[in-house]
Structure 1
Amino acid sequence: MPISSLLFSLLAGNNQLPQGFLDIISSLVTCSAFFILYAEIHYRFKFTPSRLFQRQPEIIADAPHRLPPNTPVPILIFLKDAHLFSCELVEVTVEAQLVKPLQPKDERAPLPTLTFQLLKSREAVNKPWWWRILYVKLPDDWLGWAQINVVIDYRVGRKKFRCCNDNYIGVSHAPLHVFLSGASLPSVPNYYYGDLHCHTNATSDQVEFGAPLEAMVALAQAQELSFFAATDHSYDLDDYPEDYLRNDPALRKWHDLQAAIRRLNDTHANFVILSGEEVSCGNARGRNVHFLILNHPHFIRGSGDSAERWLRTKPDHTIAEVLAMLTPQALAFAAHPAVLTPYLESLLLGRGHWDLMDLQHGRLNGVQFWNAGRRYEEEGLQQWRALLLQGRRMFAIAGSDAHGNFNRFRQITLPFMKMIEHHRHLFGSMRTAAYVDGKLQLDSLIAALHAGRACLTNGPLIDFSVVTPNGGLARMGDQLKTTGGMIMLNAVSSAEFGKLAYIKIWRGDLERREETTLYEETAFPHAFQHRVQLPLPSDYNHYYLRAEAITQRESFTVEQGASCRALTNPIWIEKQS
């Protein structure tokens, strides 16, 4: 049976297929990056059963995966499609327990469970989108991993229901895990953290939807982010707000999102939302790839891999055509360029990946290779290094690619049949730390990103610069002509992200086109901070410098022993004769 016929049989609910075929298709689609938001369960083909469908709104509870000290836990309660299946919220109860304290006092003593009643009165919900943030104040001495269950009692018609953390069918309903940190994020003056690839509820279609924009601001601030980019899919932004199966010539959804971003930027001091778009466009082979476009004032159409017209996958624009449309202040980054396309996405959606030839365009600002796991992170890093050694002045950024997903990632793997959960792509887990001159605002942040003054991190922070003999200063992203100078590095971590284990400064020789180690350290007198002052090498004429720091965590993560990492953008040096 052809793979397309097999997939259609699955979508049509054919339960006579052998389990082996189901396992193969499940594994293929599980590898996919296609269905990765909060899961939409109400869409189904006409006359086709769905194992995920139920006559209730989707009900989801979410919370940040980490919080700084003395911060109330924001619990996001989110209902979708209550206009189709109205309900009444009766009670919201939160049960919290410190399950893995940083400093256990007595391992034999039982850890208490605290209970909070959060809903003051019953509330009828009959809107397409309804959300509320309810706050829980945990004891100040609770440090470590807290386990939180959000129990929601509700009525649909005359029937009473209760769900824990969500009402999806076939998932774990496991507790939310929130790390209550004993310290703030590692800090150096003028650095601000943000997530440059995430999706709002403007991304909403047959299988997925994102989080409300205003809720994202509240949960971002709670976990010490100062900005994020709203990069919704181009093929969702051109839909009617009330019908994701039809395109809207007036682009009301896109215009509404721009207006909401402007309003929230005006009302939230010291926080910036970057207007953006994840544009689907054509690579050199005519395959659909994804493009992060930030701070561009116009919508760019891209629907080749939208699945709105099956097997009609020709891109609307090429990479070069998209770049030619951009205003000078717009930013363009290749999204997850090293992630290989699963077979079904390639076959049915015409998707491909970014080759080195696609990354040669001079207007391209950089790459966002850090969001999809260690394998693709390493492959993306190697791709970026190859471009740097070719002489490209190209910057890197980080982003989670979160579609909601503050605490747990829920994904449809087999349409209408199966869902899975994991803890990747969590909002704010992959951060860009931007060095901003002066006050944080939209213009100063855009200027920092245009200049490449940013460090990528999921833990430690690196401040990296060069001081010249006459007192000049070059930061990440700068080009410098000088007769000498001092390299200045300041690496900072915390107990949450682990002790410093490895620091390296790389030198990229642009004449020999090779990258070698200039400085390396693995022993640190101070566990969470290390400073380096090093003279510029005198035996190279044209090169770049970049730095890297790795920490080693102990038992402070879900994946025990996992390391954290920071990468800087380069400083380009030309020896002055």
Structure 2
Amino acid sequence: MSLFFWDPPAYAETHYKFKLPWSLLYRPWPETLIDAPFQVIPGEPLHLWIVVRDADRFPTRLTHLQLHLKLDGQPLITQEIELHLDANQAFSFFPIEIKDLAPGNYEIMPILSVERKGKRKKLHRWNFPTLLSQPLNVQILSKPIPKPLSYIAGETHCHTHYSADPVEFGASPAVLQSAAKSIGLDYVICTDHAYDFAFDAKDYMRPTTAEFRYRALQEEIEALPSKPKLIAGEEISAGNSHRENVHLLAPGPLKYLPGLGDCGRNWLHNFPTLQIPQVLQSAGVPCFAAHPKHPINKIERFIFRRGDWHHEDLNLNADNPLAGIQFWNGTRDKGFFRGRDWWISELEQGNHLLPIGGNDAHGDLNDTTGVSIPLMKLSHSRHHIFGKVRTVIELCEHSSRETFTQTDITNAFRGDNLYITDGPALWWERNRKVITFRAHSNEDMGAFKKVRLFAHRKGDSHEKEIFSPDFCPTNKELKYDFMHSIVAENFNYVRAECETTLDKFALTSAAFI
């Protein structure tokens, strides 16, 4: 985590020196790494991506790629690929396709040979200074991802190369769409920083016309194939009830919405551009609180005037109230548990808010690399990976996975039935006052270890666990399916959570009665 930027690690920008004469991270070579989706569904090839940044300043030739593969810990034959590619653009993403991989868990160490000004180098996965090389971890799935027929799965919080600043950058929409297809997503909401749209891509400190840059993202997405569906959106820095900056996700506003309060370019001139009610009214689409209870340190609170979300910030009586809370942000950490507790406390007050899961990935298809201390230190983790945590929404009866539109997604977020997961399917069906919970998993995601049903009984202050079957996940009694019905006339709402033997987790929205 950055000392100055609390956002998760991203593709690392190592050339920016804040007009200083030195940087421990600077090298006269383009930032280069090989990325790949963390999983691949049956029937899809594995696409590796050679990501090259700032090659317009440091033109480089990519000559050869060597891939050392291990399957379930056992070495396989090394693959040799001749490239002869010229990298000379500000952003370049070169695909490498690998077909016919058997199901299993792969460890892949790419070694990339490059040339620049007569010098040759071999890069083990990346060329990031101070950072030890790490292999790609890819799971080739043996079965389709568990998902009910009338639902679609998506990424609600990720960043493209329009989110570029002195310490990070993201992937192109085309790369995200390709990765989404590989990992089994139906939709992706690209939520680039509102403040990054307002600055020039070639000079992070020079203001530019944000509306033109937001329209450029929309046009780049419109030029792509129709599925998986990509939506241009924003992560907006908005003012809470204490005039502090908090982050809000707007999936698909037609026009750019400004939010420069904590952009870091203006130092202590850090008051919010717009307040939350203004953003919600202008957006016109269901919006979500982004990572609302993630811990914020004192430096961030002072320099960037960052603060917390509060009950009054939900604007529940507005024409366009906040629709959901994105408390699952790539990992089940302190921010997840604090955010889930806040969400539950709002449910107990009768407030219909959706749970939202996303990853805050800036590229980051397989793992995350980024600047932890500007000019000095990089970091690596396996959190905040694109598409790992998914929000799975129910389509209306007149739509399908093949025909759904952006409007169908918007309408689903105005509804009440979805679940968030990094593995199993867990959902509910309503038949008057009978709520039926269903769950489905498979060998790739793990057998069920826990399924817990919660209810808020009329007259009670807090919800309680009302049902938790006793699973014995031995080799002889692995359970991959679950169903249980509740007559819910004495409850205000019911909801469910589940966990598998592979530590995969899912959680439903609340079914209000």
TM-score by length of 2: 0.93
The Cα shift of 1:158 comes to 1.1
Q: Which amino acid aligns with 1:352?
A: G
Kindly indicate whether residue 178 of structure 2 is the aligned counterpart of residue 222 of structure 1: no
Kindly indicate whether residue 482 of structure 2 is the aligned counterpart of residue 530 of structure 1: yes
CA distance in 2, matches of 1:135, 1:292: 33
Contact kept, 8 Å, 2:211 with 2:255, in 1: the verdict is no
**Which of 22, 25, 31 is 1:49 aligned to?**
22
CA distance in 1, matches of 2:21, 2:51: 27
Q: Which residue of 2 aligns with 1:131?
A: 93
**Which of 94, 107, 113 is 2:67 aligned to?**
94
Deviations 1:358-402 (A, max 9, x none): 234431111100015332211111100111111111111110111
Kindly indicate whether residue 331 of structure 2 is the aligned counterpart of residue 369 of structure 1: no
Cα pair distance change 1:159/1:260, threshold 3 Å: same
CA distance in 2, matches of 1:74, 1:248: 35
Q: Secondary structure in 1 aligned to 2:437?
A: strand
Q: Secondary structure in 1 aligned to 2:460?
A: coil
CA distance in 2, matches of 1:88, 1:460: 43
**Which of 544, 551, 556 is 2:493 aligned to?**
544
Cα pair distance change 1:365/1:359, threshold 3 Å: same
CA distance in 2, matches of 1:228, 1:503: 28
Q: Which residue of 2 aligns with 1:478?
A: none
The Cα shift of 1:495 comes to 1.8
Q: Which amino acid aligns with 2:92?
A: W
CA distance in 1, matches of 2:323, 2:312: 15
Q: Which amino acid aligns with 1:334?
A: A
Equivalent residues in 2 for 1:104-183, closer than 5 Å:
111-120=74-83, 122-140=84-102, 143-183=103-143
**Which of 188, 207, 228 is 2:167 aligned to?**
207
Deviations 1:164-199 (A, max 9, x none): 111111111111111122222112211211110000
Kindly indicate whether residue 376 of structure 2 is the aligned counterpart of residue 417 of structure 1: yes
CA distance in 2, matches of 1:118, 1:188: 40
CA distance in 2, matches of 1:157, 1:133: 24
The Cα shift of 1:277 comes to 0.3
Contact kept, 8 Å, 1:191 with 1:433, in 2: the verdict is yes
Contact kept, 8 Å, 1:240 with 1:252, in 2: the verdict is no
Sequence identity, in percent?
27
CA distance in 2, matches of 1:216, 1:53: 27
Q: Which residue of 2 aligns with 1:472?
A: none
The Cα shift of 1:282 comes to 1.1
Q: Which of 1 and 2 has greater Rg?
A: 1
Q: Which amino acid aligns with 1:88?
A: R
CA distance in 1, matches of 2:272, 2:33: 34
Contact kept, 8 Å, 1:504 with 1:520, in 2: the verdict is yes
Q: Which moved more, 1:286-295 or 1:183-192?
A: 183-192
CA distance in 2, matches of 1:446, 1:530: 29
The Cα shift of 1:510 comes to 5.3
Contact kept, 8 Å, 1:504 with 1:519, in 2: the verdict is yes
Q: Could you say what the CA RMSD is over the residues aligned between the two structures, in angstroms?
A: 1.8
CA distance in 1, matches of 2:210, 2:383: 36
Q: Which residue of 2 aligns with 1:479?
A: none
Q: Which residue of 2 aligns with 1:284?
A: 241
CA distance in 2, matches of 1:188, 1:335: 26
Equivalent residues in 2 for 1:10-409, closer than 5 Å:
29=2, 33-34=6-7, 36-100=9-73, 111-120=74-83, 122-140=84-102, 143-249=103-209, 251-264=211-224, 267-269=225-227, 271-327=228-284, 330-362=285-317, 363-371=321-329, 372-409=331-368
Contact kept, 8 Å, 1:79 with 1:130, in 2: the verdict is yes
Deviations 1:514-543 (A, max 9, x none): 212232213276511111133x144x2x60
The Cα shift of 1:114 comes to 2.3
* Structure 1: 5+ residue stretches without partners: 1-27, 101-110, 469-484, 554-562
Q: Secondary structure in 2 aligned to 1:447?
A: helix
CA distance in 1, matches of 2:264, 2:8: 12
Kindly indicate whether residue 507 of structure 2 is the aligned counterpart of residue 570 of structure 1: no
* Structure 2: 5+ residue stretches without partners: none
Q: Which amino acid aligns with 1:295?
A: G
Q: Secondary structure in 2 aligned to 1:566?
A: strand
Q: Secondary structure in 2 aligned to 1:194?
A: strand
Deviations 1:68-124 (A, max 9, x none): 235321101111111111111111222211134xxxxxxxxxx3322223334x122
Would you say how many aligned residue pairs link Structure 1 and Structure 2?
500
CA distance in 2, matches of 1:48, 1:283: 38
Q: Which amino acid aligns with 1:65?
A: F
The Cα shift of 1:252 comes to 2.4
**Which of 454, 479, 503 is 2:451 aligned to?**
503
Contact kept, 8 Å, 2:163 with 2:193, in 1: the verdict is yes
CA distance in 2, matches of 1:124, 1:54: 19
Q: Secondary structure in 2 aligned to 1:488?
A: strand
